[in-house]
Chains A and B, each alone.
Chain A
């Protein structure tokens, strides 16, 4: 056992250090990382710079009216000068570019009748009269233009619109409600339809779960797919390298095929993970730098992306530590599983040119598993709540279990069993790759058929 481990360690160390030392690997890692840092950083700044001020607007309609004479016959008191401090959302402005109406710096003077107000207004060309009356149909806010006024009907209409929004607040305060109660009544109200179960145990994080339930399966599938397609090929190429370099005899005198395969697979997979991690860190740093820069240069920014990043703070209660750990292990396990299949492909090829013919093994397995996940569970939207049988088939489990455990759709115990099956399958496939490598080590000719392979298998 120690001899096997020693051989594995030596192959792993050499392959990993040699592979990561190559110019191609270093260039791909650092150039891509630089771009992944630069692109989000520059894009965020450029978006904010060129998009203009799309932040929440509080439009101060400085009406030409400077004084408003108020005749109020409705019961209850209201300090009309408070209207200077109020602003109201204009519904027709929409949610994308919301407009808030706000009239300030108006002097409100109480009068005993509308007539008195109109009389006083005659001497003040920038004044309006507000008459608040009540009848069977309700309370009416009427805006009157005094004679000789320099104000137009448009001015009066703007102010009237504002009053139609502020009216309820005026009446509520007139009813004697306290200011705190008024504030409490001002919070937004929404409605939803809930099932019986949901009403029993209300989950405050459900909206976040729902969003991640939609995003995570795609993200994890894509990450795995990307990892496997890029680095699976690398594993196969590395496995076949001794055959291409005529080093089979020299190497097989020193190391067992299964130790060789295992060492190479782990080395290439780890170098891939390292490269991918570097890219991930660069991307995160790019967005972080972009966020910090945008916030520093545009303090009033309301960029959707920044709000999205800030929402990550609410994830702390969504995911548990065991589920995150199992997810990471499952993604890594899945990556190794498919790399092991790629190693079988490499072991089958007798030269590098044949890799395209043998790599179908892992690409087909990946595509079929992907399709099973897509359609077997009832569509991508059902990955989370889909068929549980896919959790225990190693090739599909690695695609669905990470999302499902992360969102609490399966138990930690079930996820651990699934992970164990993935790891066991990986080890078995590596042993198979070792056996195939030994069988094929001195084979010359076309890629053998399944029948030929079975024949070779029987030949010890």
Chain B
């Protein structure tokens, strides 16, 4: 299976909102669509999924135009909600039926995901205790009785109920507490292991880095950086230096020409031009009998690459 997005573009009036976006996924994994607010990520996703008419380009799934008919899609939208007046269970059944989940499997799948995402207590009434027979039946839970995080879990369930081949997650972990973030991450990992194709849009760079093999960074509707994340990082070289010492080394940093980013109790974050410059600084410290506790030379983080690419003039979340 493969997903090919080629030359996708859209204009609203005179304004181009997605400018000739192309990328592909040849094998299962996670593809990240990154960008500032208004860069065109959600519009691109909506066009990819056929919800929004495109002005040009095509999206192919296994060589055929991508649509809910040709591909089983699960979508957790950035703008998400639930019907406030209808019970959670009714909504899950409704969306399962719309996604053509076989009737015989709906209950089983709802129970599986409810357990997985730890929302059983909101979907199922507890079994009556001994001696409590005849107790009034508990009313079905309504969405407004759930916290935002738990509502998000129900929405994630809706996206996964049809056991989709292609899962599109737009800001899946925004607003979640660390425990639930880990829960979502675990589900995402399992879906990757099950050979699913995922497209993820997120502002949480650490999360993207954790899962994604390939990325596209959008800036003002254009793709400004694209490719395999490891290769992109390699192309930048190891330019981040973390250094911890027992004494103040500010004079040596200045002497070596290395850029000091931050310092806190002899812990330094530095930017070097290349590995040679880092080694020269290390040599200078040893030469001057400075005890080095930590010397960690690494590639730039995705966050740094993102900030560099989209420019400091943008608001970064």
Residues of chain B within 8 A (CB-CB) of A14 are 90, 94, 97
List 29 interface pairs A-B (beta carbons < 8 Å), by A numbering: A3-B69, A10-B98, A11-B98, A18-B83, A18-B86, A22-B85, A241-B83, A245-B82, A245-B84, A246-B77, A246-B79, A247-B82, A247-B83, A248-B79, A249-B46, A249-B51, A249-B170, A250-B77, A250-B80, A250-B155, A250-B159, A251-B98, A253-B68, A255-B98, A442-B52, A455-B13, A459-B12, A459-B53, A459-B55
Contact A249 B80 (CB under 8 A): yes
Q: Does A65 contact B (CB under 8 A)?
A: no
Q: Which residues of A contact B12 (CB under 8 A)?
A: 459
Q: What is the chain A residue whose CB lies nearest that of B73?
A: A253
The answer to whether A250 and B53 have CB atoms under 8 Å apart is no
Closest to B98 in A: A254
List residues of B (97-149) whose CB comes within 8 Å of A's CBs: 97-99
A397 to chain B, nearest CB (A): 35
A17 and B86 alpha carbons, distance in the complex (Å): 10
Q: Are B49 and A18 in contact (CB under 8 A)?
A: no
Residues of A within 8 A of B159 (CB): 250
CA distance A247 to B80 in the complex (A): 6
CA distance in complex: A249, B158 (Å): 12
Chain B minimum-CB-distance residue to A443: B12
B:199-223 near A, CB below 8 Å = none
Indicate whether A252 sits within 8 Å of B51 (C-beta atoms), given known contacts A14-B90, A14-B94: yes
B75 at the interface (CB under 8 A from A): yes
Residues of A within 8 A of B283 (CB): none
With A249-B46, A250-B80, A253-B49 in contact, is A18–B85 under 8 Å at CB? yes
Bound: A246/B82 CA distance, A: 7
Other than A246-B81, A249-B46, give 9 A-B pairs with Cβ distance below 8 A: A14-B97, A245-B82, A247-B80, A248-B79, A249-B80, A250-B77, A253-B68, A254-B98, A254-B99
Is B95 an interface position by the 8 A CB rule?
yes
Residues from chain B with Cβ under 8 Å of A3 in the complex = 69
Tell me whether B85 and A249 are in contact (CB under 8 A).
no
Within 8 A of B (CB), among A1-24: 3, 7, 10-11, 14, 17-18, 22
Task: Name the contact of A250 in the complex, choosing from B55, B84, B90, B158 (C-beta under 8 A).
Answer: B158
Closest 6 CB pairs of A and B: A246-B81, A249-B77, A254-B98, A460-B53, A245-B81, A14-B94
Binding site for A on B (CB under 8 A): 12-13, 46, 49, 51-53, 55, 68-69, 73, 75, 77-86, 90, 94-95, 97-99, 155, 158-159, 170
Chain A residues with CB below 8 A from B69, complex form: 3
Number of A-B contacts (CB under 8 A): 67
Residues of B contacting A441 in the complex (Cβ-Cβ under 8 angstroms): 51
Across the interface, name the chain A residue whose C-beta is closest to B69.
Answer: A3
Interface centre among A248, A254, A459 (most CB of B within 10 A): A254
Question: In the complex, which residues of chain A have a beta carbon less than 8 angstroms from the beta carbon of B80?
Answer: 246-247, 249-250
- A18–B90 CB distance below 8 A: yes
* Chain B proximity of A235: nearest CB distance (Å): 16
Contacts of A247 in B (CB 8 A): 80-83
Could you tell me the distance between the alpha carbons of A250 and B170 in the complex, rounded to whole angstroms?
A: 12
- Evaluate contact between B46 and A442: CB separation under 8 angstroms: yes
In the bound complex, do residue B84 and residue A249 qualify as a contact, i.e. CB atoms below 8 Å apart?
no
Secondary structure class of chain B's binding surface, majority of residues: loop
B90: chain A residues at CB < 8 Å are 14, 17-18
Whole-angstrom CA separation of A254 from B73 in the bound complex: 9
Interface residues in A104-153 (C-beta closer than 8 Å to B):
none
The CA-CA distance from A18 to B46 in the complex, in Å, is 28
- Looking at the assembled complex, report how far the CB atom of B51 sits from the nearest CB atom of chain A, in whole angstroms: 4
Name which residue of chain A comes closest to B170, CB basis.
Answer: A249
- Point out the residue from B78, B79, B82, B98 that lies within 8 Å of A7, measured CB to CB: B98
Say yes or no: A10 contacts B94, CB within 8 Å.
yes
Q: A253 contacts B51, CB within 8 Å?
A: yes
Q: Which residue of B lies closest to A254 (CB)?
A: B98
CB-CB under 8 A from A251, the residues of chain B are 98
- Is there contact, CB below 8 Å, between B13 and A10? no
Give the residue of A7, A22, A250, A460 whose beta carbon is less than 8 angstroms from that of B75.
Answer: A250
Query: Which residues A209-265 have CB closer than 8 A to chain B?
Result: 241, 245-255
Closest to B85 in A: A22
Minimum Cβ distance to chain A for residue B146 (Å): 14
Determine whether the beta carbon of A460 is less than 8 Å from that of B55: yes
Contact A254 B85 (CB under 8 A): no
In the bound complex, CA of A438 to CA of B12 (Å): 15
The smallest beta-carbon distance between B139 and chain A, in angstroms, is: 11
With a cutoff of 8 Å between Cβ atoms, the chain B residues found around residue A18 in the complex are 83, 85-86, 90
A245 CA / B84 CA spacing, docked (Å)? 7
Name the residue on B nearest A241 (C-beta): B83
State A286–B114 Cα separation when bound (angstroms).
50
* A245-B83 CB under 8 A given contacts A14-B90, A250-B75: yes
> What is the CA–CA distance of A429 and B83 in the complex, to the nearest angstrom?
26
* CB-defined contacts of A248 to chain B, threshold 8 Å: 77, 79
Among A249, A254, A438, the residue within 8 A (CB) of B95 is: A254
B148 vs chain A, min Cβ distance (A):
12
Nearest Cβ in chain A — how far from B93, in angstroms?
8
Whether the pair A249, B75 counts as a contact (CB closer than 8 A) is: yes
Minimal Cβ-Cβ distance residue in A for B12: A459
Taking CB atoms, residues of chain A closer than 8 Å to B53 are 438, 459-460
Give CA–CA (A106, B68) in the complex, Å: 99
**A17 and chain B: residue at smallest CB distance:** B90
Q: Which of A246, A254, A459 contacts B68 (CB 8 A)?
A: A254
For the complex, what is the distance from the CA of A241 to the CA of B85, rounded to whole Å?
10
Q: Which residues of A contact B78 (CB under 8 A)?
A: 249
Chain B residue numbers with a CB within 8 Å of A250 are 75, 77, 80, 95, 155, 158-159
CB-based nearest B residue for A251: B98
Q: Which residue of B lies closest to A23 (CB)?
A: B85
CB distance from B97 to the nearest CB of A (A): 5
Min Cβ gap B236→A in Å is: 35
Bound complex: CA A109 to CA B13 (Å): 112
Closest B residue to A257 using CB positions = B51
B50 to chain A, nearest CB (A): 8
Interface centre among B49, B94, B97, B98 (most CB of A within 10 A): B98
Least CB distance, A16 to chain B, in whole angstroms: 12
Q: Complex: how many Å from CA A303 to CA B83?
A: 52
List of A residues within 8 angstroms of B85 by Cβ: 18, 22
Q: Which residue of A lies closest to B13 (CB)?
A: A455
Complex Cα spacing A252 to B82, Å = 14
Residues from 413 to 460 in A contacting B, C-beta threshold 8 Å = 438, 441-442, 455, 459-460
